[in-house]
Structure 1
Amino acid sequence: MLGSLRGTRLAAALASALLLFGTVAACGSSDGSGAGSEKPAAANKAFPVTIAHKYGSTTVKAEPRRIVTVGLTDQDSVLALGKVPVGTTEWLGGYQGAIGPWATGKLGDATTPTVLKDTGTGPQTEKIAALHPDLILAVYGGLTKAQYTTLSKFAPVVAQPKEYNDFGVPWQKQTEIIGKALGQEARATSVVNGVEADFKAAAAKNPAFAKSKGVVATPYEGTFVFGSQDPRSRVLTDLGFTLPSDLDKVIGDEFGANISKERTDLLDTDAIVWIAGNPAEDEAKLHKDALYGDLKVARQQREVYIKESSDYGNSVSFVTVLSLPYMLDRLVPQLAAAVDGDPATKVPAPAA
């Protein structure tokens, strides 16, 4: 699985981490695989807390101080709750510390987190061990059982919840889970309520949303459509939109999937959000396809094109308690123009 040299380094890191964490017992996993951390100077009365997840449950015995986020967007919830991770996992944007522009204000004077990368073989175990974590968060993620077991040798691991697809946890639930793990349940509820109020205000201001059908897609290797459990689709439903009735039947038990040409009809909604690498080129290519170009949504230009590598595009994919207000300021006016009932209305460029 690893080369001999890499294997040697991994073994050394494992031994070092186990020696360090075996001497303390502030935190632990209920299955016995979790390691401990130093006890903080002032105990938080919220602890211990036990959190259920896909691979059982994990008990956090004391307030964590060295948090590593393996979940691709978990850092935003941590920051929203007043803590700064020592390590984050890079997903989109290549941001310093893997902290998007919607969240940098939460860093304060803290040290910028060390960025980990998922190279396609899972979390960077050696680097995580070197950070000496006392809590590892993998809520918005897809940890395997083997990866969970390995990481649990270093610190308590909160894996993705079992009631959702991998990478399918709603942002509200993500924030609540992380809030519990950090001993900040009340604060988590407060910040969730604040963002939900933003959604309610946008829906109330745009009653056409509740009468409209929408879908989120990307022209990736054909046409990739996001299902109802994907956070991007939940943005639409939280605003009042409905999704195509047989969307999940076509996609299956996944967060999204490429659809066949025969199911292009799924895209014929009142508004479609395209997350595109090059919006101008992708729009031209899509409209040249007779199957798509003949749909009303295309002919009436009720399409919202979002550049995926932009800060706006990254916020649309992050879907966190911090990225959502930033995203709503830009997306809501575009959706409103798309569903206003007048084909002559142009979808505006996003706000700066």
Structure 2
Amino acid sequence: MFRSRRAPRPAAALASALLLLTAATACGGDGANAGTSGAGAEATASGGSAFPVTIAHKYGSTTIRSEPKRIVTVGLTDQDAVLALGQVPVGTTEWLGGYQGAVGPWAEDKLGGAEAPTVLTDTGTGPQVEKIAALRPDLILALYGGLTKDQYASLSKFAPVVAQPKEYNDYGIPWQELTEKVGRALGKPAEATKVVEDTEGRIKAAAEAHPDFKGASAVMATPYEGMFVFGSQDPRSRLLTELGFSLPEDLDRAIGDRFGANISKERTDLLDQDAAVWIVADVAEDADKLHKDASYKDLGVVGEGREVFVDESSDYGNATSFISALSLPYVLDRLVPQLTAAVDGKTDTKVEQPAP
């Protein structure tokens, strides 16, 4: 399910990995765990201690009774929030890049001198329960994920599990909320708020420096089995709106209650925006294929040079899909200049690939 850094067709791996997991998602319910209740409501710790703390999620709520020391992240981006708050997980789940410890270059400095986490993989059948148990976790984080009820119950037998929130599609939690929930789970809510504010400040500064983004339309897509478009609850799409862009008006109506979906040839109008950001395996090859597609090649976004291509096999491409408090500054430094060139109103402006 998860690809190595230079595997072929990474865009396909990215979309199919999440599709496999979301297709397996079951209806909500409570898991069986001494640290879990069915109340489903957030609870705040009393007195001066951060613990116990109770965090609501798709399958009820989970109580963490003391500061966790051995954290395993099953959520695909959850490790960045843990690292940003000064702790190193004992186990992470590999998704993008094939990096040591599943820690991207944008977050490496947060490891300090600590040993890199043990990397777990998922072949589409769910988390590796036995390997996770062997790590002796005292907290399992699965916020940016799609745990099923049964998977949640299995993991909850040996550690408190914070699953994905019920308010969003699977893989739909905003990075801000993910960071804040991890902060509560680790007993560091104030530190988490500071991390969020600092990263939001970087995004706000970029938006203010580029007033031409405000009101312009944009969309994120990848050429997976045709044309796969990311919806409004996908973190990549949220980055566009946080920068001031608007998404296609009927985007979610076209893809349903998922993080994204393939669109028909009749709906390529969704791609004809002021900027179309393509996450691709090979910039030259995929651009050429798109520009030969009869349903796409004559759109204004092509003829007027408003396409942005992100090389998914690069660190930049991985960071763009990762979307975390730590990866976002790395992405902004590269994506914002590309978006600026795309929406400058000049058809002869080339949208350059950023330096590594």
Give yes or no for the alignment of 1:233 onto 2:237: yes
Give yes or no for the alignment of 1:292 onto 2:296: yes
Map 1:1-352 to 2 at 5 A.
28-30=35-37, 45-352=49-356
2-structure distance, mates of 1:347, 1:279: 12
The residue type paired with residue 220 of structure 1 is Y
1-structure distance, mates of 2:242, 2:188: 25
2-structure distance, mates of 1:199, 1:145: 35
The residue type paired with residue 331 of structure 1 is L
TM-score with structure 1 setting the length: 0.88
Where 2:305 maps in the other structure, the secondary structure is coil
Does structure 2 conserve the Cα–Cα contact (< 8 Å) formed by 1:297 and 1:303?
A: yes
Q: Structure 1: which 5+ residue stretches go unaligned?
A: 1-24, 33-43
TM-score with structure 2 setting the length: 0.87
Does structure 2 conserve the Cα–Cα contact (< 8 Å) formed by 1:329 and 1:351?
A: no
Q: Which residue of 1 aligns with 2:28?
A: none
Measured against aligned partners, the alpha-carbon deviations of 1:226-245 in whole angstroms (never above 9, x if no partner) come to 00000000010000000000
RMSD (CA atoms) = 1.3
Query: Could you list the runs of 4 or more consecutive aligned residues of structure 1 that deviate by over 2 angstroms after TM superposition?
Result: 27-32
2-structure distance, mates of 1:216, 1:301: 16
2-structure distance, mates of 1:219, 1:148: 32
The residue type paired with residue 28 of structure 1 is G
- Higher Rg: 1
Q: Structure 2: which 5+ residue stretches go unaligned?
A: 1-32, 40-47
Where 1:220 maps in the other structure, the secondary structure is coil
2-structure distance, mates of 1:337, 1:229: 26
C-alpha deviation, 1:31, in angstroms = 5.3
2-structure distance, mates of 1:205, 1:351: 21
Q: Which residue of 2 aligns with 1:37?
A: none
Paired residues in the alignment total 316
Percent identity (aligned): 71
Where 1:216 maps in the other structure, the secondary structure is strand
